[in-house]
Structure 1
Amino acid sequence: MAISSALCLPSTPRSKPYFSAADCRSSDSGARPRIEMPAASSLRGGRTSPLILRFPPNFVRQLSIKARRNCCNIGVAQIASASWSNDPPAFEGPRSAASSDASAVPEAAGSDGSTLVGGGVDHSGVDLGVPVVQDAKASVVAKTAALFSSDGSLAVHAGERLGRGITTDGITTPVVNTSAYWFSNSDELIDFKEKRHASFEYGRYGNPTTQALEEKMSALERAESTLFVSSGMYASVAMFSALVPAGGHIVTTNDCYRKTRIFIQSELPKMGISATVIDPADTESLKSTLEQNNVTLFFTESPTNPFLRCIDIELVSRLCHNNGALVCIDGTFASPVNQKALALGADLILHSATKFIAGHNDVLGGCISGSEELISKIQLYHNVVGGVLNPNAAYMILRGMKTLHLRVQNQNSTALRMAQLLEEHPKIIRVYYPGLPSHPEHHIAKRQMIGFGGVVSFEIAGDLSTTKKFIDSLKIPYIAPSFGGCESIVDQPAIMSYWDLSRPERTAKYGIKDNLVRFSFGVEGFEDLKADILQALEKI
Structure 2
Amino acid sequence: MTKQRPQDAYTNSIESPTYQSASYYFNNADHVKDGLHNRSVPAGRYGRYSNPTWIEVENKLSELSGAESSLVFASGMAAHVTAFLALLEAGDEVVLPSESYRQVRNVFHHILPKFGVVVHEFSIRDSEAFIENVAALRGRIKLVHLEMPSSPHMYLIDVARVRAAVGPDVILTLDSSFSPPPNYYALQWGVDLVLFSATKYLSGHGDIVAGVASGREELIEKLRWYRDTTGPIVDGNTAFLLRRSLYTLQLRMERVNAMGLEVARFLEGHPAVERVYYNGLESHPHFKLAQQYLNGFGGVITFELRMSEEQTAEVVDRLRVPFMASNFGAPHTLIEQSTFFTYFEYSDDELVSIGVPRGTVRLALGYSNEVADIIKDLDQALSHVLSGAGGSAAS
Q: TM-score, normalised by structure 1?
A: 0.68
Residue of 327, 332, 339 corresponding to 1:482: 327
Residue 290 of structure 1 aligns to a residue whose secondary structure is: coil
**Corresponding residue for residue 362 of structure 2:** 518
Q: Which amino acid aligns with 2:30?
A: D
Partner residue, 1:290: 138
1:321: Cα distance to partner?
2.7
Larger relative contact order (Cα-Cα within 8 Å, sequence gap ≥ 6): 2
1:178 and 1:82 mapped to 2: Cα distance?
18
Task: Please give the per-residue CA displacement for 1:383-423, whole angstroms capped at 9, x wherever unaligned.
Answer: 00000111111111111221111111110111111111111
Query: How far, CA to CA, are the matches of 1:248 and 1:7 in structure 2?
Result: 50
The corresponding residue for 2:268 is: 423
What aligned pairs does 1:350-499 form with structure 2 within 5 A after superposition?
Answer: 350-499=195-344
1:254: Cα distance to partner?
0.8
Alignment of 1:29-428 (within 5 A): 81-83=9-11, 168-169=12-13, 171-191=14-34, 192-280=36-124, 281=127, 282-291=130-139, 294-322=140-168, 324-428=169-273
Q: Is the 8 A contact 2:99 2:150 kept in 1?
A: yes
Distance 1:289 1:439 in 2: 29
Q: Does the 8 A contact of 2:138 with 2:167 survive in 1?
A: no
Aligned-pair CA distance for 1:507: 2.3
Paired residue secondary structure (2:81): helix
Which is further off, 402-411 or 312-321?
A: 312-321
**Whole-angstrom CA distance in 2 between matches of 1:289 and 1:459:** 35
**Aligned counterparts of 1:247 and 1:347: Cα–Cα separation in 2:** 21
Cα distance in 2 for residues equivalent to 1:479 and 1:290: 44
SS for the counterpart of 2:185 is: coil
The residue type paired with residue 343 of structure 1 is Q
Bigger Cα Rg: 1
The Cα of 1:497 is off from its aligned counterpart by 1.2
- The one-letter amino acid paired with 2:340 is I
SS state at 2:10 partner: coil
Identity within the alignment, %: 33
Q: Which moved more, 1:439-448 or 1:355-364?
A: 439-448
Cα distance in structure 1, aligned partners of 2:286 and 2:86: 32
> Does residue 6 of structure 2 align to residue 7 of structure 1?
yes
- Deviation digits for residues 440-495 of structure 1 (CA, Å, limit 9, x no counterpart): 11111111110011101010111110111111111011111111111111111211
- The secondary structure found in structure 2 opposite 1:298 is strand
Measure the CA separation in 1 of the matches of 2:321 and 2:206: 15
1:153 is matched with which residue?
none
8 A Cα contact 2:59 2:69, kept in partner: yes
Report the TM-score, using the length of structure 2 for normalisation.
Answer: 0.92
- Between the aligned partners of 1:522 and 1:253, the Cα distance in structure 2 is 28
Q: Which contiguous aligned blocks of 4+ residues in structure 1 show a shift greater than 6 angstroms?
A: none
**What amino acid does structure 2 have at the position aligned with 1:218?**
S
Is the 8 Å Cα contact of residues 256 and 306 (structure 1) preserved in structure 2? no
User: Aligned partner of 2:88: which letter?
Assistant: V
TM superposition shift of 1:345: 1.3
Query: 2:242 corresponds to which letter in structure 1?
Result: I
**Residue pair 1:221, 1:336 contacting (<8 A) in 2 also:** yes
Which deviates further from its counterpart, 347-356 or 394-403?
394-403
